[in-house]
């Protein structure tokens, strides 16, 4: 069989073959292999962090990753942002009839590699096959749970005046990569997605630092949107300095060319850390130890002034508002 | 250092700004007529650094903003036809049309709308979908017209029959003339559009001297803009000075002008907030009529529309009102729910005020 048939989602023998020969082959573990209606999670400490996300990225495979690894990293990161250690994932596929089996296998294999890298288990799953045209090839939903490492957990509402804002590396890489590969755009950039798991460095930060106020990964909507959310939730001003923002040259140039703003481009392997200035040096020391956050820098601070807003000090020295994006800047990037 | 970074140097910029402040003896109202200038002035933070008595006005320089309501109604009607794919630049997707709907709304209702970065991309869509009619939405100024002319020539050469252009192009100099004839409009000088000038050169601006108005052509990096403004306020007589010589030649882009002349002819055009301006638009020449979407789809007579009540985009576009002086600004009219087009496009002056001003 080189193409997926509707039968494979029927619940009958064809479904079972798909589960055995593909999903269990790459994703199997003692939880999933029982094939019960639900997974029994005996060893887990409360309180828990839980997060869900659905992945619809187009194209499915892109420089630096694919929808499979993205669906693992993305949810692992969301769980980690609560200062938690991700443990278990669920995974649901919605597949289009006629999908090439080799493509599906490539993606499931990539997911399998990603869960191993992250040290998490996919413990329950679901597969639906829908008629051609109902979805675009593969959509994946993953839900993750993890153990909260410390209380109170970091939250978008805990930023306080006097805190510093740190970003764990360059921004806009994922968004620009996807855009440059999307059909219909005759444009290529020498850049790749930053899709990566962040939970290891997060764990070290949360466990070792006296205080962590906010952890957020600036995915869709980018750095500007996430900081606006934080400013709103915490009722503070986020003050950013443009000349400190780490943006790679090809991303800058690609954005210039396409009229996009890297501050609004999605990231899939970066996080924002907000904490009291006193702990800044200790945080940077930890961040720089881990390859995924080696290029961490302080990009601004939390102030009392324009509450609920993000203020940007431009390279020129002027000040302006950095507003939230109105709608999509790009279609289907994650 | 990147070549363009030299035009962003903050030390040089601070020096020029200090000089600009010295030169200004009285309030000076300058108008830029290019959406890219509007955005560049706000985004770079330059606006917060300009001397207080240098008053910045945004003129009719955003192509989305000056597209007339009747033109919008025309392409909305076209977008809803069954076999039509409307290929457009992305910033038109949120422009409010009849019944306060947008192209995004029509798309959700099933209209086939494709965002492209170049009209040449829409030719590819036409080739891939021979059973559909691909219409490129030709909204823009002299800057975008040459690539559209080139894509039409390519369509003809390749015998692509299911491609046409809804030609709503506008020309900048005739609009400037209308502003200067309007006694409500108060301007002391123009910052002329850099990209448009790359194409048309300096000659089309010669008429400005008859109105005793100084003007400068400026680039888009912070230093380009400050240098151009410094020149503008220092000019002792009405003349047009090219402060963007690295891109703008006095004769313009001869090749682009030639290709435009082969495909387009000048005709009247409707401008939002201004009305009909003679000799201010580009229409396809008779020999290109087969590629004219308005002829192909029987839309030469644009639909009549009702005026949007309370919307002051017309006054804003002419620099009579500043966005914050419009009673709807940030109240009934926001980027979430734009009433007028100046709030829609990222290059619109109301949107820029809303988005960037502290």
CATH number for the domain that contains residue B218: 3.40.50.11740
Q: Give chain B positions within 8 Å (CB) of A258.
A: 117
Using CB atoms, pick whichever of B2, B47, B117 lies closest to residue A318. B47
Query: A180 vs A155, which has greater pLDDT?
Result: A155
The edge-to-edge listing of strands for the beta sheet with A319-321 is A214-216, A272-276, A163-167, A297-303, A237-241, A310-313, A319-321
- Is B277 among the domain residues? yes
Closest residue by Cα to residue B75 from B144, B169, B170, B166: B166
Q: Tell me, which fold does domain A163-321 have in CATH?
A: Phosphoribosyl-aminoimidazole Synthetase; Chain A, domain 2 (3.90.650)
Q: Is a pLDDT exceeding 60 seen at residue A230?
A: yes
Question: How far, in Å, CA of A96 to CA of A132, rounded?
Answer: 5
Whether B334 is in a domain gets the answer: yes
The shortest CB-CB distance from B358 to any of A316, A320, A326 is to A320
In this prediction, residue B201 has a pLDDT band, given cuts at 50, 70 and 90, of very high
Q: Which domain holds residue B75?
A: 1-353
Token representation of residue A264: 């609004």
List chain A domain ranges: 6-148, 163-321
Q: In what order do the strands lie in the sheet with B112-115?
A: B112-115, B84-88, B133-138, B163-167
User: Is residue B160 very low, low, confident or very high in pLDDT (cuts 50, 70, 90)?
Assistant: very high
Residue B291 domain-assigned? yes
**Which residue of chain B has the CA closest to A257?**
B117
Instruction: Report chain B's mean pLDDT, rounded to a whole number.
Output: 93
The better pLDDT of the pair B37, A10 is held by B37
Question: How sure is the predictor about A330, in pLDDT bands with cuts at 50, 70 and 90?
Answer: low
Using DSSP, state whether A82 is helix, strand or coil. Answer: coil
In the predicted model, what is the mean pLDDT of residues A58-82?
A: 97
C-alpha separations of A205 from A48, A211, A280, B185 in Å: 18, 9, 11, 60
Searching chain B, which residue's CA lies closest to the CA of residue A180? B117
pLDDT at residue B358 above 60? yes
The pLDDT-based confidence of B292 (bands split at 50, 70, 90) is very high
Q: Which fold has domain A6-148?
A: 60s Ribosomal Protein L30; Chain: A; (3.30.1330)
ipTM over the 0.90 cut-off: no
User: Inter-chain contact B117–A315, Cβ cutoff 8 Å?
Assistant: no
pLDDT at B1 over 80: no
For residue B265, give every residue at least 6 positions away whose Cβ sits within 8 Å of its Cβ, in sequence order, or none. Answer: B282, B283, B284, B285
Per-residue pLDDT, averaged over B309-321, amounts to 88
Q: Which stretches within A8-66 are classed as H helix?
A: 13-18, 24-27
In this prediction, residue A184 carries a pLDDT of 52
Does some domain include residue B248?
A: yes
Owner of token pair 């994922």: A174
| Domain contains B358 | no
Per the domain annotation, does B198 fall within a domain? yes
Listed in order, strand segments (DSSP E) in A203-270 are 214-216, 237-241
d(CA B98, CA B93): 14
- Residue of A311, A320, A321, A328 for testing the chain B interface, max B β-carbons within 10 Å: A320
> Using a CB-CB distance cutoff of 8 angstroms, which residues of chain A are in contact with residue B46?
316, 318
Tell me the average pLDDT across B188-209.
Answer: 96
Within a domain: residue B318? yes
Does residue B295 have a pLDDT over 90?
Answer: yes
Nearest-by-Cβ selection for B13 from A306, A316, A319:
A316
Tell me if A326 sits within 8 A of B335, measured CB to CB.
yes
Question: What DSSP letter does each residue of B312-350 carry, written as one string?
Answer: -HHHHHTTSS-GGGSTTBTTTB-SSS-SSGGGTSTTSHH
Q: In angstroms, what separates the C-alpha of A313 from chain B's closest C-alpha?
A: 8
Q: Residues 222..251 of B with a Cβ closer than 8 Å to A: which?
A: 222
A164 SS3 class? strand
- Give the residue-averaged pLDDT of B205-215: 93
- How many Å apart are CA B281 and CA B271, to the nearest integer? 9
Number of domains chain B contains: 1
Alpha helices in chain B (DSSP H): 10-23, 35-43, 63-66, 69-79, 103-108, 119-128, 145-157, 172-181, 194-200, 222-234, 254-263, 293-296, 313-317, 349-356
* DSSP-assigned beta bridge partners for residue A50: A145
Which of A312, A316, A321 minimises the CB distance to B222?
Answer: A316
- CA triplet B67, B71, B76: central angle to 5 degrees? 115
What residues are paired with B215 via a beta bridge? B190, B240
Instruction: Please indicate whether, in this complex, the C-beta atoms of A326 and B336 are within 8 angstroms of each other.
Output: yes
B354/A320 CB distance under 8 A:
no
Structure tokens belonging to residue B218: 């400026």
Per the domain annotation, does B195 fall within a domain? yes
Using the predicted structure, report yes or no on whether residue B306 has a pLDDT greater than 90.
Answer: no
For A31-48, how does the pLDDT look when each residue is reduced to its tens digit (9 = 90+)?
Answer: 999 999 999 998 899 999
Query: DSSP secondary structure string, B269-314?
Result: EEETTTEEEEEEEEEE-GGGGGGBHHHHTT-SSPPP-PPPTT--HH
Residue pair B193/B299 in contact (Cβ under 8 Å)? The answer is no
Taking CA atoms, B296 is separated from A7, B75, B133, B300, B303, in Å, by 46, 13, 10, 9, 16
**Angle at which helices A173-181 and A249-258 cross, to 10°:** 50
pTM summary value = 0.86
Confidence grade of residue A181 (pLDDT, cut at 50, 70, 90): confident
* Cβ–Cβ contact A257 with B under 8 A: no
- Asked whether residue B271 carries a pLDDT value surpassing 70, the answer given is yes
| pLDDT, position A183 | 54
From the list A185, A249, A314, which residue is nearest B45 (CB)? A314
In a mutagenesis test of the B interface, which of A316, A324, A329 is the best target, namely the one with the most B β-carbons within 10 Å?
A: A316
- Reference B200, options B171, B227, B228, B221; nearest CA is B171
């Amino acid at each position: 069989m080189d193409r997926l048939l509707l039968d494979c989602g029927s619940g009958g023998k064809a479904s079972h073959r798909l589960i055995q020969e593909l999903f269990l082959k790459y994703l199997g573990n003692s939880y999933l292999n029982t094939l019960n209606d639900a997974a029994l999670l005996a060893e887990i400490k409360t309180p828990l962090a839980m997060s869900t996300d659905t992945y619809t990225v187009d194209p499915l495979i892109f420089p630096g990753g694919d929808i499979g690894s993205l669906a693992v990293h993305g949810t692992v990161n969301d769980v980690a942002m609560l200062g938690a250690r991700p443990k278990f994932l669920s995974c649901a596929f919605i597949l289009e009839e006629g999908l090439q089996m080799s493509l599906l296998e490539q993606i499931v294999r990539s997911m399998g590699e990603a869960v191993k890298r992250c040290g998490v288990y996919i413990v329950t799953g679901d597969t639906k096959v829908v008629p051609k045209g109902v979805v675009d090839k593969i959509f994946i939903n993953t839900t993750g749970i993890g153990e909260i490492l410390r209380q109170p957990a970091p939250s978008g509402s805990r930023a306080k005046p006097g805190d510093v804002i740190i970003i764990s590396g360059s921004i806009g890489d994922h968004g620009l990569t996807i855009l440059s590969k999307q059909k219909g755009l005759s444009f290529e950039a020498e850049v790749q997605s930053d899709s990566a798991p962040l939970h290891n460095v997060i764990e070290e930060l949360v466990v070792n630092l006296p205080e962590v106020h906010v952890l957020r990964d600036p995915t869709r909507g980018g750095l500007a949107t996430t900081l606006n959310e934080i400013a709103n939730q915490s009722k503070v001003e986020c003050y950013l300095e443009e000349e400190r923002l780490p943006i790679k040259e090809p991303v800058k140039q690609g954005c210039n060319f396409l009229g996009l703003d890297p501050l609004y481009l999605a990231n899939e392997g970066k996080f924002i850390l907000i904490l009291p200035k006193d702990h800044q040096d200790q945080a940077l020391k930890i961040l720089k130890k881990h390859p995924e956050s080696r290029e961490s820098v302080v990009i601004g601070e939390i102030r009392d002034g324009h509450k609920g807003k993000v203020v940007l000090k431009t390279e020129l020295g002027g000040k302006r508002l950095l507003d939230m994006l109105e709608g999509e800047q790009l279609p289907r990037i994650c | 250092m990147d070549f363009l970074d030299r035009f962003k140097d903050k030390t040089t910029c601070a020096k020029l700004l200090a000089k600009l402040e010295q030169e200004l003896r009285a309030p000076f109202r300058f108008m830029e007529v290019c959406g890219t200038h509007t955005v560049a002035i706000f985004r770079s933070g330059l606006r917060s650094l300009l001397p207080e008595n240098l008053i910045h006005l945004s003129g009719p320089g955003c192509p989305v903003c000056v597209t007339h309501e009747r033109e919008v109604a025309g392409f909305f009607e076209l977008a809803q036809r069954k076999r039509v794919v409307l290929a457009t630049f992305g910033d038109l997707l949120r422009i409010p049309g009849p019944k306060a709907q947008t192209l995004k709304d029509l798309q959700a209702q099933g209209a086939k709308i494709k965002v492209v970065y170049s009209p040449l991309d829409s030719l590819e869509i036409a080739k891939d979908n021979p059973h559909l009619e691909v219409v490129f939405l030709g909204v823009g100024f002299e800057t975008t017209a040459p690539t559209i002319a080139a894509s039409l020539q390519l369509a003809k050469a390749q015998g692509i029959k299911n491609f046409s252009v809804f030609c709503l192009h506008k020309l900048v100099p005739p609009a400037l003339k209308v502003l200067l004839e309007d006694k409500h409009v108060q301007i002391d000088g123009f910052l002329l559009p850099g990209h448009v000038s790359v194409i048309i050169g300096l000659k089309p601006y010669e008429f400005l001297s008859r109105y005793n108005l100084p003007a400068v052509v400026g680039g888009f990096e912070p230093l380009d803009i400050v240098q151009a403004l410094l020149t503008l306020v220092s000019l002792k007589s009405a003349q047009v000075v090219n402060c963007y010589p690295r891109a703008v030649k006095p004769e313009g882009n001869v090749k682009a002008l030639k290709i435009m002349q082969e495909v387009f002819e000048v005709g009247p055009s409707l401008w939002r907030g201004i009305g009909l301006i003679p000799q201010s638009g580009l229409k396809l020449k008779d020999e290109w009529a087969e590629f004219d979407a308005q002829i192909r789809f029987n839309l030469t007579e644009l639909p009549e529309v009702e005026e949007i009540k309370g919307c002051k985009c017309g006054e804003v576009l002419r620099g009579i009102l500043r966005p914050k002086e419009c009673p709807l600004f940030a109240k009934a009219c926001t980027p979430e729910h734009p009433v007028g087009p100046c709030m829609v496009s990222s290059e619109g002056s109301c949107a820029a005020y809303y988005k960037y001003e502290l």
